[in-house]
């Protein structure tokens, strides 16, 4: 991962210099969405028998009218350096740099059922009070949690799920602690 961060940092520096952080952030999110929705694109980009020129052509066709020329040049650089397998990671680091620039952390909240707006706002406010930073809250359903929440923020896991509690009880019982 350390070898990938310079790509993200360099592209962030370009975005900062051109005062295009918001635009490039939106474009990076768009690219990641397309990448997730089209597994064939990822497979093609990572396939060793597909030439760099073919990969570049596919990326241009897929994104030329939707992203800036700087992004297309960034893609070309990633391809030239043989880092196409790491495109998602590079873009995610770039997005983290964009958030950090705005003194914001991303928090992923996993819950067994959909959260209400009131619950989301309460979680967000609590995380703001703990971190002292703005929070970009992303929610995801995980029915395996049974009840409770799992939150990942700033690389830290806060597991308040019943699933974790049951697991801890099982471990204690196996170890003879109950």
- What CATH number has the domain bearing residue 79? 1.10.520.20
- Does residue 69 sit in the same domain as residue 17? yes
Q: Does 1 have pLDDT greater than 60?
A: no
If asked whether residues 10 and 74 sit together in one domain, one would say: yes
Q: Please give the DSSP secondary-structure letter assigned to residue 114.
A: P
pTM: 0.77
Domain end call among 51, 81, 100: 100
Co-location of 94 and 12 in the same domain: yes
- What's the pLDDT tens digit per position in 90-126? 999 999 999 999 999 999 999 999 999 999 999 999 9
Domain that includes residue 131, residue range? 104-174
Contact 57, 63 (CB under 8 A): no
CATH number assigned to the domain comprising residue 154: 3.40.30
**77 shares a domain with 12:** yes
- Residue with structure tokens 């975005």? 15
- What pLDDT is attached to residue 92? 93
What is the structure's pLDDT at 163?
Answer: 85
Name the phi and psi angles at 154, rounded to 5.
55, 40
Sheet holding 104-111, edge to edge: 134-141, 104-111, 148-153, 156-161
The residue behind tokens 């705005």 is 102
- Is the domain of 43 the same as that of 125? no
Instruction: Pick the last residue of a domain from 78, 100, 122.
Output: 100
The model's pLDDT over 135-146, given as tens digits with 9 standing for 90+, comes to: 999 999 999 888
Residue 172: count of CB within 10 angstroms of its CB: 11
State how many domains the chain has. Answer: 2
Q: pLDDT value at position 142?
A: 92
């Amino acid at each position: 991962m350390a070898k990938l961060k310079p790509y993200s940092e360099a592209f962030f520096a370009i975005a900062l210099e051109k005062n295009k952080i918001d635009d490039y952030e939106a474009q990076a999110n768009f690219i990641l969405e397309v990448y997730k929705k089209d597994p064939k694109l990822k497979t093609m980009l990572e396939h060793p028998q597909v030439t760099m020129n073919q990969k570049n052509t596919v990326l241009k066709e897929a994104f030329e009218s939707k992203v800036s020329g700087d992004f297309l040049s960034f893609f070309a650089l990633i391809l030239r350096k043989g880092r196409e397998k790491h495109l998602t990671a590079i873009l995610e680091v770039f997005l983290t740099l964009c958030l950090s620039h705005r003194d914001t952390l991303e928090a992923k909240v996993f819950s067994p059922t959909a959260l209400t707006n009131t619950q989301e706002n309460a979680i967000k406010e609590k995380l703001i009070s703990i971190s002292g930073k703005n929070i970009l809250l992303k929610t995801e359903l995980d029915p395996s949690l049974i009840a409770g929440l799992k939150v990942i923020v700033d690389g830290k896991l806060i597991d308040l799920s019943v699933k974790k509690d049951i697991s801890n009880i099982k471990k204690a019982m196996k170890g003879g602690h109950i």
